[in-house]
Amino acid sequence: MKERVILHCDANSFFASVEVANKPNLKNLPVAVAGNPKKRTGIILTKNHIAKKYGVETGEAIWQAKLKCPNLVLFAPHYKIYEYYSAKLKEIYEKYTDRVESFGIDECWLDVSDTYKFFGTPKELADKIRNEVKTSLNITISVGVSFCKLFAKLASDMKKPDATTIIDKRKFKEIIYPLPITDIIGIGRKLEKRYNQLGITKLGEITQVPDEILKKKFGILGIELKQKLLGYDYDEVNLFDNHVKPKSVGNGTTTIIDVYSRKEIMDVVTMLSEEISTRLRRDGFIAKGLAVGIKTATFEYFHKSKLMNITTNNSKDLVYESMNLIDSFWQYNQAVRAIRICAYNLSNANIVQLNMFTNIIKTKSIDNALDKIRKKYGYYSITPAIKINNTKLDMSRIEV
């Protein structure tokens, strides 16, 4: 089998780097992108390398970051600009291979097995791409080079910013096995605790555990991770024009102040449902499954899901079904600070089971009219009446 060459390109401190790229006078200053404290989203979303040297951490409160770094320059997120830079990054990557797979807005895998020789060695190609990004976009990326996706991703995380790191097939065990298990993608705090219960703290130790124990403790995914750590990772990098079908479409928001009543919660649900339904129609999907999550003012989280009796991408249907689901488990006796809705079990919108109680032609024509208006004049050019003068809703953080 021909040995593969996989790159993982990760934009360094992406949001903060884009802000600096558009404001060169900030180049040597600590910069971070953060939410709005007045809207209770006042945490650090990302910081540049200079801010990191001061100890500023992603996820900490703004006031904590300011204690460490009083001269920290803060920006609210500008997602449209970040999307533009993300698209430009992909344009650069696609010059070198047609196998480019996105992993979030700022990361991509590239399979250059068939093309790297046109540009030299794998390292020379990685360096060439790094330099082109720096010259063209005035931001930096770190590139991991390996023979599989998992190790390429791990390599790009090992040295930042603006670096190329290689994990060679002949030496991967001595590089990877001494590393903490949390260095690998997919192992967070909960899984770390479960591995720790088996006495496992290093990646190499996972490969020593019998399959039957891994399967009992972690299911088939535990065995699959072991195989990948042994070097048997054959996951392909998707073609850049292959759009993987999403498993769900969800949205959530934190309200500016706590909400209590059914009416207040329904207002939030209505706005979330409007935007989820818009995205479902935009991507050509209908949903059969629905999940709702509620976070209280004391940060307790409650969640319930169900399969609906209909498949839909209509906002009124989603509101009705969401409120029925919430009514089944919520007592409306606690302060609520955040709500999330997720539509799942998606299928092609062109294949619809007709419902004799619904005028589907009329509903679809109304939805199409809304979508056309929003496409031409912007999403918020037309909006539910509950949005008007509703000071409890912060829609700025909801994805459209």
Catalytically active residues are 107
Proportion of the chain in helix, strand, coil states, percent, rounded to 5: 40, 20, 35
d(CA 211, CA 233): 17
**Residue type at position 228:** K
245 burial via Cβ count (<10 Å: 0-12, 13-18, 19+): exposed
Contacts of 370 (CB under 8 A, 6+ apart): 278, 382
User: Smallest Cα–Cα separation from 141: which of 122, 157, 163?
Assistant: 163
User: Smallest Cα–Cα separation from 9: which of 116, 100, 148, 109?
Assistant: 109
Determine phi and psi for 233, rounding to 5 degrees.
-120, 110
d(CA 56, CA 64): 8
